[in-house]
Structure 1
Amino acid sequence: MLRRTYDGQVCSIARALEIVGERWTLLIVRDALLGVTRFDGFLRCLPIARNVLSDRLNGLVANKVLERVQYQDRPPRYEYLLTAKGRELAPVVLALMEWGDRHAPDGTEVPRTAVHVGCGGGVGVGLTCDTCDGPVPAAKVALGPAQ
């Protein structure tokens, strides 16, 4: 979706930004995670131009993050549903939300919360080690080459 590429970089973060790095894209995904499915619904939630929203939705569909499903014949109307690939962005959106709550608070609003639909408990993003199964503080995480 981005108008620039990251040629020469062997980096999955750069490839992910090609899909979700445009302005508004993650906010559209956020709203889809909150249950918004229709074009007008996204317009109500976001101060975004119709043509930009259309472009972002088309890009998310092309990258199989959203699926475009017709729900009305006359006139034809569509909704945009998260695919399994799109739902996998939930931890990314949640991590950005938690980071923003800590480091970019607005001061006037109550932060959004994430809740486990099954039991009502709070849900957070946590780092755990796949070897020792213990929690890992962010300061103890290092990125390295693929193994």
Structure 2
Amino acid sequence: MDLLGDWWTPLVLREAFYGVRRFDDFQQSLGVARNTLTTRLNRLVEEGLLERVPYQDRPVRHEYLLTDKGRDFFPVLAAMVRWGDRWLAEEAGPPVVLRHECGHTGHPEVVCTHCGGQYTAETVRSELGPGFPQRLRSRAEVQARFGGDTRS
């Protein structure tokens, strides 16, 4: 959330998925202040979600292209779109639809890669993973949050 916890970062990534590549085009489509956009683009480049590639020499100008890491963010945006379409769309329908390569429009689902069942708040339980900091495992709040099993 440190990377994505502001309003503009997901919107910049959304525009990149829509094909926006140049600073002025991001600025125009989002209506964001230039200094704010500069900060967000630089952060996304630093974090490896976008790559800055020159497209003009004099003066030097850059395009911002999604990296593999950036493209891997698409399911997160698609889930946000689904939520917005369900809870915020006007009566006329969603403002943008997602058309899958099969030719159909629909909405994304978050599913288990093992059985194909839907991931929902009711069907998923969070457990400590191998990367959870060892120094925090014995804390009472961690034990309470994760069912007391902090052995992982």
Q: Percent identity?
A: 42
CA RMSD of aligned residues (A): 1.9
TM-score, L = length of structure 1: 0.79
Larger displacement relative to structure 2 (95-104 or 84-93): 95-104
Q: Which of 60, 64, 82 in structure 1 is aligned with 2:48?
A: 64
CA shift at 1:124, angstroms? Answer: 3.1
The count of corresponding residues between Structure 1 and Structure 2 is 129
Q: Does 1:125 align with 2:108?
A: yes
Q: Does 1:92 align with 2:92?
A: no
Residue identity opposite 1:70 in structure 2: P
How far does residue 23 in structure 1 lie from its aligned partner after superposition?
A: 2.0
Q: Report what 1:54 is aligned to.
A: 38
Comparing 105-114 and 50-59, the one that deviates more: 105-114
Amino acid at match of 1:61: V
The structure with the larger Rg is 2
Distance 1:100 1:58, change over 3 A: same
Per the alignment, do residues 24 and 107 of structure 1 end up closer, same or farther by CA in structure 2, a change over 3 Å counting?
farther
Gaps of 5+ in 2: 130-151
Are 2:22 and 1:38 equivalent residues in the alignment? yes
Query: 2:62 is aligned with what amino acid?
Result: Y
> 5+ residue gaps in structure 1?
1-16
TM-score, normalised with respect to structure 2 = 0.76
Alpha carbons 1:36, 1:42 under 8 Å: kept:
yes
**Is the counterpart of residue 27 in structure 1 residue 27 in structure 2?**
no
What is the deviation of 1:122?
Answer: 2.5
